[in-house]
Structure 1
Amino acid sequence: MTEKYEYRVTGMTCGHCEASVRSEVSQLTGVTGVDVSAKTGTLVVESEAPLTDADVLAAVDEAGYAAVRA
């Protein structure tokens, strides 16, 4: 069963920002899809395994941005 997690990300301004967040979050175990938009400041993660907010937020932080659960 696929779970969907939604976050608000601050600090993204361009496609490179989106790619950085996508790259880090995609590495989390079980992630099957990542939709990120600098324009709207949103991140939607789909996963076949349960994810913790802490893991997703740490991945976003690793990319150089801040996020909160939407």
Structure 2
Amino acid sequence: MTTTTYTVTGMTCGHCEGSVRSEVSKLPGVSAIDVSAASGRLVIASESPLDDAAVLAAVDEAGYSAARA
């Protein structure tokens, strides 16, 4: 199990969190997602390391910007 943390900018509410969660959950191998608009953090648990570019693209698809923390 691998855990990776990202900083997400632009989230302000629960709907924002849900949008990010929805897009990131589509990535293969993701087993758990914790996303918080208050802290601007996205923590992903996965079976194996995820491709950072794929995670950043998923967050971008949700309408936000991210960087690996």
| TM-score class normalised by the smaller sequence | over 0.9
Matched ranges for 1:16-55 at <5 A = 16-55=15-54
Give per-residue Cα distances to partners, 1:7-63, cap 9 Å, x unaligned. 000000000000000000011000000000000000000000321110100000000
C-alpha distance in 2, partners of 1:49/1:7?
A: 16
Percent identity (aligned)? 68
Contact 1:29 1:49 in 2 (8 A): no
Q: Which runs of 5+ in 2 are unaligned?
A: none
C-alpha distance in 2, partners of 1:50/1:28?
A: 12
Runs of 4+ in 1 over 6 A off after TM superposition: none
**Equivalent position of 1:59 in the other structure:** 58
Q: Which runs of 5+ in 1 are unaligned?
A: none
Letter of the structure 1 residue corresponding to residue 37 of structure 2: A
The TM-score with structure 1 as length reference comes to 0.96
